[in-house]
Every structure is written in C-alpha cells, then in structure tokens.
Structure 1
Amino acid sequence: MNQGDSGAAQRLLALIGEHRDSIREAMDDEQHRLLLTRLTALAGTPPDDDRAVRRALQGVRLALLPLALDHPVREEMDSPRLVAAPPGPSAVAGARELMTWLAPPSPAPEPTPGPAAGTDAGQDELLRAPALSAAEARARCGGAPPAELIRLADPRDGDRYPEFQFGAAGGSPYDVVLEVNRLLLADIDPWGAATWWLSGNTWLGGTPARLLGRLPDHRLVGAATALVEGEG
C-alpha cells in the first residue's frame, strides 16, 4: 500500500469529524444511524485483516452517499484523488478516534434486502424510480435474476428491480451493471448500491444510471472502484 492510499482514507475520516454537525443535519435519522453503525464496524475491524478493512471502509462510503454533491465530504469522496485501497491500521485507528467524538449508534439492525426494508424517506425516493417487478425481471433474465442485480424490497409492491439495470426494448441486464454491482456489494447493501447509481457523481459529471451507454463502461467501473477499492 502506498502513502497516498493512507492519506486518502485519513483525509475522508478527518472530514467526517470536521463536518459532523452538517452531516447530521443533512441526513435523516435512519441514514445517520447507518453511518454511525458503519463507522463503529470499521473501528472494530481487526487492523491486520486487509479484506475486512476494505469492506468496512466501503460501507462507510456508501453510507455517505445521501450527502449533497457540494458537501465537502461528498466532494472528497467523488474526487479522483480518493482511492480506497485500505490502509489497514490507519483506517481503523482513524475510525476509533472519530467515534470518540460521535454519539454511539442505536442498536438498529443493518438494512438488509428483506421485507422490512424500504420504509424511510431515502428508500421511498429510490422506490419511485422506474423499476421492474420480480416477474418482469425473471423474464428479462431468462430465469432467476442474478444476485448482482439490485433488488429493493417494497413493502407495498414486493421486490423491485431498478429499470436502469436492463437494456432497452426488453433487454437483459447490462454486463457493466453486474460488474459495478459486484463492487458495490449490491447483494448485501442494495439500497447503498441503488443510491450510487441514482445520485449525481461529480467525477463522472452526471448520474451513473443515466450515463449507461453514453460513457465507456470502464469509466463507470473506474468510478465505482475509486469509491470502494481503488488502487491509485
């Protein structure tokens, strides 16, 4: 790991602490609880477990996606300078120090792709995006949809698969969507993955879902990689 990687993670964690009040104001209760839960998970990760640190740091980034594009923390996340190859002990130590400034998280469970999800304001907004039903997704996939597809559990209408993941005119899932969703761990955190696709991204210059077919696939993969595990 290089020094730049360590500096990037430390800079992000420092900004979270510096702007903790504006972050709290910008998030609803559920979003803020999730951020605190993710930071606590990072602080409790064994520093020498490189893979675990990578995933925990990824979770923190995904929890920050609801911030406005012009928020200093979000601008840092979207900057090509930010790479996420985990700095191991540095990231864990930084999270532990940060958590001494922040209130401990409530015992709310991590959101999962189960029937109880999709009830807070941010998730309701995601559910308003065009989507396919479970039956329609099976038809597009020629069988059971792959685990990499984002599946949002709607308490009113059942499972929903955001439509941007599929090609036009009855097309099957985009290969690049499946690749990016694997990076975003969409099977574990579908709401976080959906937020990335359907939110503006300053690095890409637009909303990733709207840039499918307009930007080269490697640009989309690169933006997701920079968020979760870049190797700059």
Structure 2
Amino acid sequence: MTTDDLLELLRRHLPEIRASLTAAQFSGFQDSVLRLRAAGDDARAVRGAVRQVRLALLPLPRGMELRRRLDQFRSGGTAPSAVLPDTDRLAELIRLLDSVDWPTLDPESAGIARAVRERLLTAPARGPEQLTGPAAEDPTGSGLIRLSDPERGDRYPEFQFDPDTGEPRPVVQRINRMLLSDQDPWGAADWWLGGNTWLRDAPAALVGRVPDARLTEAAAALIGDGGW
C-alpha cells in the first residue's frame, strides 16, 4: 500500500473517522495530515508524517474496517520513491477535513467505544494512592497508562507494574511512550490487553514471559516504526 492508497482510504472513511474520534482526537488527526503536506518531497519527513497519521487513528475501534486495514499496513513495504503523496490527492483530503462538519459521534460508534472502555476498566488496576516515587508525582510523564473511571477515578492497569517491586516495568514505560499513551491511553491499553496476532496473545500477558525486545518489536510493527 502506497501513501496515495492511504490517502484514498482516509478520504473514503472520513465520516467514520470523524464519528469515532473526540474533537481533540480528530484535531490531532488533522494536524498529522497537515504535517504530511508540510513534508513536501522529503521522503524521510513523509514517512514520519505517515507514522503520525497512523498513531492519530489508534483510538478508532478495532472492529472498524479502516482500523483493520491500517493494522495490515506493514512497514518497509514501500520504496522511498513511492512514498511521496500525490499533491492533488493530498490537497483534496485537506479540503474535506477543513470544510465538512461531521457529527461528533454516531450511536453505533459510541456504543463500540463505550464497550471497549468498559472492558478495559474490568482489568486489574491500582489507584493513584498506590503509586510511589516518580510515578506518583507524574504518572503519565513516567510512561504509565491512566484510565479514567467515572466511579473509581483514575486507574492504572496492573500489568504495568513489577509484581515483586511494585515499580513500573521499564519495557512497559518504553512501549507506552511509543504508543503515545499520554495522548491516547485507551488505545494504548487496548493494544496491551487485546489479542495480538503478531504475538498470538495479549501483550500484557506476555510481559516477563517473552523477551522485552519481542514486545517492543510488536509495538513497532503496529506503528510502523522504521517505515510506515
């Protein structure tokens, strides 16, 4: 899949993208597309911008066709000369982004998002009073996922912590930063706690059981680090 294929995919699915993202998330998606325009004919900058587009769309529900297509978009499969987008196609996408006022969230997408959040909040987690050291002072700055529970307040999924020391696991902190968990904690938590075809299990269940490098590679494959 080339960059132009991606642009066409985004154009076709714009209504679903807008309906499934919050206003802040959609604004971040728009910024990533503008970054793609600013990259011009710099292939390296274009690859970085495409990576940001994909990261901006991580909050999309996994059941969406677009999310499945994006997850299949592997890194390293496009020659540098094919990465540069068609300027007219990119301009048309930006025009649509600027001119169309999509509804914030349709009922079906809202139901999917609510179900995902409810599932993630059932996972074992600790409250802020259980954090210690730097993590207690600045949890998200320390690379921890923070989920907001309307009844219990902030929750920090338990898989992030070493069961012996109670301290944050360095590999989890590193991957959380790769997944931009400070901007999209729900998307990052969904990656850790959901099934992963690359690893054949939920990544959270494999922490400490498989080499840290394998978990990091799986996260890099998702976001297209090193290519797309």
TM range (shorter): 0.5 to 0.7
Q: CA deviation at 1:126?
A: 1.9
Q: Which runs of 5+ in 1 are unaligned?
A: 1-6, 109-118
Letter in 2 for 1:182: R
- 1:160 match: secondary structure: strand
TM-score, with length taken from structure 2: 0.68
- 1:145 match: secondary structure: coil
Q: CA deviation at 1:186?
A: 1.2
Aligned to 1:63: 59
- 2:181 match: secondary structure: coil
Aligned to 1:111: none
Q: Name which of 104, 108, 116 aligns with 1:122.
A: 116
Q: 1:142 to 1:134 in 2, by over 3 A?
A: closer
Residues of 1 paired with 2:123 and 2:85: CA distance?
38
Q: CA deviation at 1:155?
A: 2.4
- 1:205 match: secondary structure: coil
Q: CA deviation at 1:144?
A: 4.8
Contact 2:144–2:176 (Cα < 8 Å) also in 1: yes
- 1:47 match: secondary structure: helix
Letter in 2 for 1:44: L
Aligned to 1:153: 148
Q: CA deviation at 1:215?
A: 2.2
Residues of 1 paired with 2:115 and 2:125: CA distance?
18
Residues of 2 paired with 1:36 and 1:136: CA distance?
33
Q: 1:61 to 1:72 in 2, by over 3 A?
A: closer
Aligned to 2:131: 137
Aligned-residue Cα RMSD (Å) equals 4.3
Q: CA deviation at 1:128?
A: 2.0
Contact 1:35–1:60 (Cα < 8 Å) also in 2: yes
Residues of 1 paired with 2:132 and 2:77: CA distance?
36
Q: Which runs of 5+ in 2 are unaligned?
A: 40-44, 105-112
Residues of 2 paired with 1:221 and 1:159: CA distance?
26
Higher mean C-alpha deviation, range 121-130 or range 208-217: 121-130
Residues of 2 paired with 1:230 and 1:39: CA distance?
18
Q: CA deviation at 1:44?
A: 2.7
Identity score, percent: 34
1:163 is the counterpart of 2:158: yes
- 1:167-188 CA-to-partner distances (Å, cap 9, x unmatched) read 2245311111011011111112
1:104 is the counterpart of 2:104: no
Q: Name which of 217, 222, 232 aligns with 2:217.
A: 222
Q: How many residues align?
A: 211
- 2:171 match: secondary structure: helix
Q: CA deviation at 1:61?
A: 3.9
